[in-house]
Amino acid sequence: MEKEKGIGRFSRALAFLALLLAGLAVWNLCVGSARFTAAELFRLLVSPDGGTNGRILWEIRIPRIVAAVILGGALSLSGFLLQTFFANPIAGPFVLGISSGAKLVVSLMMILLLGRGIAVSSWGMILAAFAGAMLSMGFILLLSRRVRSMSMLVVCGVMIGYICSAITDFVVAFADDSNIVDLHNWSMGSFSGMSWGGIRVMALVVSAAFVCCFLLSKPIGAYQLGEVYAASVGVDTMRLRIALIVLTSVLSATVTAFAGPISFVGIAVPHLMKSLMGTAKPLLLIPACFLGGAAFVLFCDLIARTMFAPTELSISSVTAVLGAPVVIWVMVRQKNSGRREERHG
């Protein structure tokens, strides 16, 4: 029957993503300033010896890979939720200015606190980023009531992003010199310098958000058909909307807090996953988006740190080069499929 073929396709696609992710992780482990052969890698993984290579692997590469996996998945998932929420295929945390809002508040907090010699914990960073994300989200929500067109909403989001980035640059210019290097690196987006402590925090937050999303996949699926229909089959649309706003903000805030703003993953990956899976059902797409986002970001990070080694590219430059064409493709396809106007009630 048709359906069984479909289920086979889904599990094959998910298995493919998992294998891809594992392969990329191994590749990432081997490649870099110090290159490892498979045998060396195996030895270092099984019995870390405390030598330089072991430290590179355990203190630098593995944390970086784990962070890229967690944050890449989170980013792509938040993009999927935003696209569902706004019924807008080109919505994402970066283009709607949510990442930039998070960046702004985090920068402000860092400058204020670091200037006084107070260290900021991972939780503090996430909290600040969440506040910033909610701020941008609030503006976007206000605008979305007035702006009916999908592309206009995205333009507004991009503008909010610019405003937030401009203010960030402005305050960074007036910050103490000692903080700037750190802040500058971070605000460009990078996975370097991840600590195991930070990873524990991000793993906790992101997995909690992921589980919540997965549990909400049934109402999210109903919501994809439109708010009125969702309500008519018994979805509490008000509560679902709030849940979606909070979840997307938490996810993109966590990413921004640890790795800075990262562009285009949130839009590109969910679309690639929809094409791969041949469906937009949240029950299947939520795990697929997470795996796909993790693999995509892992690949981008590999390019970012090895292409012009020892100089490292900002992760956003790589994700933009790979992700933006996908977005253009999506927009062209949207126009071609002949979008219909809203029917009035």
* CB nearer to another protein: pick between 123 and 229: 229
Q: Closer to another protein at the Cβ: 170 or 229?
A: 229
By CB under 8 A, the residues from 208 to 237 that bind another protein are: 215, 217-218, 221-222, 224-229, 231-236
Radius of gyration of the chain (CA): 20
Token couple for 228 = 């009125």
Does residue 149 touch another protein according to CB under 8 A? no
CA-to-CA dists, residue 237 to 93, 135, 155, 175, angstroms: 22, 22, 26, 44
Query: What minimum distance in Å lies between the beta carbon of 52 and another protein?
Result: 48
Which lies closer to another protein via its Cβ, residue 51 or residue 278?
Answer: 278
Residue 345 beta carbon to another protein: minimum distance, rounded to whole angstroms: 5
**If binding is defined by CB under 8 A, does position 266 make contact with another protein?**
no
Specify the length of the chain in residues: 345
Among 279, 306, 312, 322, binds another protein (CB under 8 A): 279
Task: Determine if 114 is a binding residue for another protein (CB under 8 A).
Answer: no
315-336 vs 282-306: helix axis angle to the nearest 10?
Answer: 140
Sequence-distant (6+) residues with CB within 8 A of 23 are: none
- Contact status: 12 vs another protein (CB under 8 A): no
Does position 278 interact with another protein (CB under 8 A)? The reply is yes
Chain position carrying tokens 């989001």: 157
For residue 274, the 8-state DSSP code is H
How many CA atoms lie within 13 Å of 8's alpha carbon, on the beta-carbon side? 5
Position 146 contacts another protein (CB under 8 A): no
61, 103, 274, 305: which one binds another protein (CB under 8 A) = 274
User: According to the binding rule CB under 8 A, does residue 343 interact with another protein?
Assistant: yes
Among 89, 198, 266, 287, binds another protein (CB under 8 A): 89
From residue 272, alpha-carbon distances to 50, 96, 288, 289 in Å are: 41, 20, 10, 9
Nearby residues of 310 by Cβ (< 8 Å), 6 or more positions away: 33
Smallest distance from another protein to CB 56, Å:
43
Residue 2 touches another protein, criterion: CB under 8 A = yes
Rounded CA-CA distance 278/160 in Å is: 33
Verify binding: residue 241, another protein, rule CB under 8 A.
no
76 scored as a contact of another protein (CB under 8 A)? no
Distance from the first to the final alpha carbon of the chain? 39
Q: Is 61 in the site for another protein (CB under 8 A)?
A: no
What is the smallest separation between the CB atom of 160 and another protein, expressed in angstroms? 25
**Near another protein by CB under 8 A, which window of 94-102, 171-179, 201-209, 336-344?**
336-344
Q: How far apart are CA 297 and CA 319, in angstroms?
A: 7
Q: Is the Cβ of residue 87 or residue 118 nearer to another protein in the bound state?
A: 87
Q: How far apart are CA 287 and CA 119, in angstroms?
A: 35
Tell me which residues touch another protein (CB under 8 A).
Answer: 2, 87, 89, 215, 217-218, 221-222, 224-229, 231-236, 274, 278-281, 283, 337, 340, 342-345
